[in-house]
Copies of this chain bind each other. A is one copy, B any other.
């Protein structure tokens, strides 16, 4: 059964396994001092047009976010983020545990922070009694399937910098955002003022690999210790790095993301005319959010795997992956037609 539950329910793209197999011979230095890692880093630097960036690989998205943020936060800082952000509600409290920081979580119905929503949060600066905001963290594409335009990111970066703060981007689904905007990833990260960037791979067809990109290498000078002491340093490191070589080769990042986004559009088109269904978010990446009647959801879930996002409203999330097929959507849509009426 194909699932609309999460893009991490999907398998690994064959090209990724091939790349892994390709590097699986001979001894190589461990812990990232190998040629595969070197090549992967070089590819990312070119890809992001960021030759001075400090780039490191970690195991998972939580690891990428928390180690990246650790480069700029002290325990008395706070991080401005959306209430729905992954760091706020889906990382088991790892940011608080490892960083000791406070998260200033802001209501943002579409998952997107705006200057207006956050501009008044830098209060009591210099006051030792209260946590000092010094990072704005945004997710691109957001947990609600929406996408920041380059201009919107730039505005947030400028606001953050004006307040002596950094802009962090959780890019677990950055590729989906880029293809949605028809931009390069450089154009929506480095070029619009992002300081620290979690470059996601796992949700876009990799097995388990994320890159932490610190555009100003000065910020990253302690990163090796941060990563090791946060238990995110792989020993047989080439197998993590090789996944990123695959991702950036043959436009895999783009093809996978583009396909997933298209499937989400197709899925949306199948749902949006159903009078019992209310689409709740723009479909700008690979997720469709919609409110179904609870009894419909229940019946659909007997055959299809997807998550209820909000128990109170009945909103569900339908997530498409690099391997979602038109047939998968047809099968699901047929059941929707049968049930949701």
A61 within 8 A of B: yes
A96 and B92 in contact, given A17-B24, A66-B231 (Cβ under 8 angstroms): no
A97 within 8 A of B: yes
Size class of A's contact patch?
35 or more
- Is the contact region of chain A dominated by helix, strand, or loop, or is it mixed? loop
A248 within 8 A of B: no
How many angstroms from the CA of A224 to the CA of B240 in the assembled complex? 24
Pick from B90, B97, B103, B130: contact of A75, CB under 8 Å? B97
A163 within 8 A of B: no
In the complex, chain B residues whose CB is within 8 Å of the CB of A120: 312
Does the CB pair B8–A30 fall under 8 Å? yes
A232 within 8 A of B: yes
Which A residues, 302 to 325, have Cβ-Cβ distances below 8 Å to chain B? 305, 311-312, 321, 323
Does the CB pair A231–B27 fall under 8 Å? no
How many angstroms from the CA of A14 to the CA of B96 in the assembled complex? 40
How many angstroms from the CA of A66 to the CA of B281 in the assembled complex? 40
Query: Whole-angstrom distance from the CB of A246 to the nearest CB of chain B?
Result: 13
How many angstroms from the CA of A232 to the CA of B128 in the assembled complex? 12
A277 within 8 A of B: no
Which 8 pairs, one residue from A and one from B, show the smallest C-beta to C-beta distance? Answer: A92-B228, A128-B224, A76-B225, A3-B27, A97-B100, A75-B97, A8-B235, A93-B131
